[in-house]
Amino acid sequence: MENNIQEEKIPSAISPLSGNQGASGTIHVFAPATVANVVCGFDVLGFAVNEPGDEVIMRVTNKPGITISKITGDDGRLPLDPAKNTVSVSVQHYLQSVGRTDIGLDIELHKKMPIGSGLGSSSASTVAGLFAIKTLLGDDADPVNLLPFAMKGEEMACGHGHADNVAPALFGGFVLVRSYEPLDIIRLPHPKDLYCAIIFPDVDVPTREARQIIRKNIQMKDAVTQWGNIAGLVSGLFMNDIDLIGRSMKDILVEPVRSMLIPDFYKMREMAMELGAVSFGISGSGPSVFAFARDEGTAHRITQKLQQHLTAINIGSNTYVSTINDKGPKVIG
Amino acid sequence: MENNIQEEKIPSAISPLSGNQGASGTIHVFAPATVANVVCGFDVLGFAVNEPGDEVIMRVTNKPGITISKITGDDGRLPLDPAKNTVSVSVQHYLQSVGRTDIGLDIELHKKMPIGSGLGSSSASTVAGLFAIKTLLGDDADPVNLLPFAMKGEEMACGHGHADNVAPALFGGFVLVRSYEPLDIIRLPHPKDLYCAIIFPDVDVPTREARQIIRKNIQMKDAVTQWGNIAGLVSGLFMNDIDLIGRSMKDILVEPVRSMLIPDFYKMREMAMELGAVSFGISGSGPSVFAFARDEGTAHRITQKLQQHLTAINIGSNTYVSTINDKGPKVIG
């Protein structure tokens, strides 16, 4: 296939997926950060936010194969080797699947959020890359078809092919991963006026280790409490009932363990709730934490207060406030 | 209080809840059977059906206190002693709570479903009794206020004050018991064209024992599978998506144990699914089983086939087909 490269250029970025046509041009894509688990929904729930997010600039080249020419915002932590970077690996899997390994691509990855933050950093990059190549090739198939490739990236990034970050990054909004075998993704509604305040305390909590500390055996009665809460949260999302969402967002199984890796987790919760948060919890496997709030002002007061507190105990932090992202990835240039 | 009985009669059954007025007349109430657990929703989900259900005839007497003059359909298994019968005990708790122990009541209880069937038999009776006295007294408070009294009845009947039968019996429809402390009941929508086929194999599975065989410790990964499914089922109910409801109704934690107490459970499932059932599972703690079907004909074919099978292995059975009950208890005379 690789010697079958087509030199012709097509004016539009939209070209047929199959056949002997090539793809041309450059595309600049944003994909959102995501909050997985969502307190009571360990391993099955996630949602996307409008800020932060990662950006990929993808350019068609005339030499088959993928190169990564630039990565910014990663402090030199991510590999430029396309065989080792989750973005290029995912895109390569996709190209193999659609029979287009004849294409040459160069990728720039601009990380706009910290790595290892619990905000689905690798998912955002991977989804941005996949959305870029899908758009360049004019592939109008359902985005759900990109999921397996994005999950390949997750497997590489954190040792486990989870979908609770990549699915919301790809679709936007709230997503339920009901089942993995077969993969069953349900898109859930959410209140439009729900604000998400995110605080990333700059401490190191690797996803792999954060998984390992979770208990393997639990009590049935605790599981019942947890699934009552996840059923309540899902109901609250459908009913547009922010009170119900708030009182359902309790995690008695994972948070008690993972919170130990996060500085002053319970103190931060107390501060957030006193300021009027609807709920507060760990984003993904941490160390980022998030709060839901009913308005932008409250969300900002929460991030400010928590950042001040972290500064006082000598921990740097990044903060973000946004509504829930409803669109997933988007072309920005 | 008890010597303060009022002899005056009020023409309408609706009378003020407080004050020195009495209540009068006779009321005949139906309350529905219920399917608790609903496969993946162990201890938190339940729904009501239109058939079967129990009936209570309640008559105001001129002697303070409660009597039970008649019970039918129980094969002599239920106590006529008002201090030992769940209906009278619940009604007595209610009367104490509203300060109306001055009233005299006689109760007839007509069981229209087998006892110990896993169909919320005691809940139906209790809710019928509570709805009867509430209506007689003209108490127009939210029916949710009756729940604590109904749960007292459940505690007496099965050793555990659960709400997953009494709540749907009281409200009709699908009900989520998100939490017990504090009690948080969420009413869920459901597809209008969902038919429920119920088969009660006449074998003995006491609720108390059916609870005891359930594992106390489970694996986290199995709990995650289960709460993915309950989140899927709740989503399917809101989305009116019968396919999603069907594929979410899987129970890997409780059913594998409880099904051992039900003759040919997996054979019956296979038969029901082959006939086009949407899902199949244990009702409450069994031995009743139920299937969802998309139309009445399919539901009837399922009950007929399973009844034939049970007959062939010398087990008697009762069968019922109905849509989901949306109203809860109702006055029928």
- Give pLDDT tens digits for A78-89: 999 999 999 999
pLDDT at A207: 66
Residues of B with CB under 8 A from a CB of A: 41-45, 176-179, 184, 186, 188, 214-221, 223-232, 234-235, 238-239, 244, 247-248, 253
Residue A163 and residue A238 share a domain = no
Domain with A172 in it: 2-188+326-331
- B121 and B233 both lie in a single domain: no
In a shared domain, residues B163 and B201: no
- What integer pLDDT is reported at residue B209 of this predicted model? 75
Residues A202 and A145 in one domain: no
Residue B99: CB atoms within 10 A of its CB come to 11
The H or E element spanning position B291 is strand B289-293
DSSP 3-state of A184:
strand
| A127 and A213 both lie in a single domain | no
Q: Are residues B161 and B268 in the same domain?
A: no
Identify whether B328 is part of a domain.
Answer: no
Residue B235 tokens, joined: 């989503």
Secondary structure of residue A3 in the 3-state scheme: helix
Residues B37, B177, single domain; the answer is: yes
**CATH number of domain containing B254:** 3.30.70.890
- Identify which of B176, B179, B247 has the shortest CB distance to residue A184: B247
User: Can A67 be counted among the known catalytic residues?
Assistant: no
Closest partner CB to B232 (pick from A178, A215, A235): A178
Structural domains of chain B, count: 2
**Co-location of A56 and A143 in the same domain:** yes
The DSSP bridge partners found for residue B179 are B184
Q: What is the pLDDT of residues B301-316, one digit of tens each?
A: 999 999 999 999 999 9
Nearest beta carbon to residue A223 from set B218, B231, B235: B218
pLDDT at A1 over 80: no
Last residue of a domain, one of B189, B222, B245: B189
By mean pLDDT, which of A18-32, A203-217, B15-29, B236-250 is the weakest? Answer: B15-29
Residue by residue, what is the 3-state secondary structure of B111-124?
Answer: CCCCCCCCCCHHHH
Q: What share of chain A is helix, strand, coil (3-state, %, to 5)?
A: 35, 25, 40
What ipTM goes with this model? 0.91
Residue B207: the pLDDT is 66
Given the residues A154, A255, A298, A303, select the one marked as catalytic: A154
What is the 3-state secondary structure of A190-202?
CCCCCEEEEEEEC
Taking one residue from A and the other from B, the number of pairs with CB-CB distance under 8 angstroms is: 129
Residues B182, B238 within the same domain: no
pLDDT of residue B15: 39
**Residue B5 above 70 pLDDT?**
no
Are B247 and B224 in a shared domain?
yes
Cβ separation of B228 and A43 shorter than 8 Å?
Answer: yes
Question: Residue B106: pLDDT band by 50, 70, 90 thresholds?
Answer: very high
Measured CA to CA, the distance from residue B179 to residue A232 in angstroms comes to 9
Is A117 annotated as ligand-binding? yes
Mean pLDDT of B92-106: 94
Of B189, B217, B244, which residue is a domain's last?
B189
Are the Cβ atoms of B44 and A218 closer than 8 angstroms?
Answer: no
Q: Give exposure, A236-252, as e/b (b: 16+ Cβ within 10 Å).
A: bbbbebbebbbbbbbbe
Cβ-based contacts of A229 with chain B (< 8 Å): 178-179
DSSP bridge partners of B291: B197, B280
CATH number of the domain to which A134 belongs: 3.30.230.10
Helix (H) or strand (E) holding B310: helix B296-312
Res. A2 pLDDT band, cuts 50 70 90:
very low
pLDDT band at B188, cuts 50/70/90? very high
Instruction: Of A181-185, A313-317, B208-212, give the range with the top mean pLDDT.
Output: A313-317
Tokens 């997750």, residue located: A154
| Rounded Cα–Cα distance for residues A174 and A16 (Å) | 31
**Best mutation site among A42, A44, A178, A230 for testing chain B: the one with the most B CBs within 10 Å?**
A178
Instruction: Spell out which residues of chain B touch residue A215, defining contact as CB-CB under 8 Å.
Output: 220
Instruction: Over range B208-217, report the average pLDDT.
Output: 82
B118 in a labelled binding site:
yes
Closest to B251 (Cα-Cα) out of B38, B43, B48, B47: B38
Do residues B185 and B199 share a domain? no
Q: Looking at CA atoms only, how far is residue A78 from chain B in angstroms?
A: 31
Residues B124 and B52 in one domain: yes
Q: Which of B219, B230, B248 is facing A216, going by the closest CB pair?
A: B219
The pLDDT of residue A13 is 33
pLDDT interval class at B205 (50, 70, 90): confident
Percent of chain A with pLDDT over 90: 80
Across chain B, mean pLDDT equals: 90
Which residues of B participate in catalysis according to the annotation? 154, 207
B157 is in an annotated binding site: no
pLDDT of res. A22: 52
A116 vs B278, more confident: B278
For the residues A325-333, what does the mean pLDDT come to? 93
- For residues A164 and A44, give the distance between their C-alpha atoms in angstroms, rounded to a whole number: 6
* Mutate: best of A221, A227, A248, partner B, most B CBs <10 A: A227
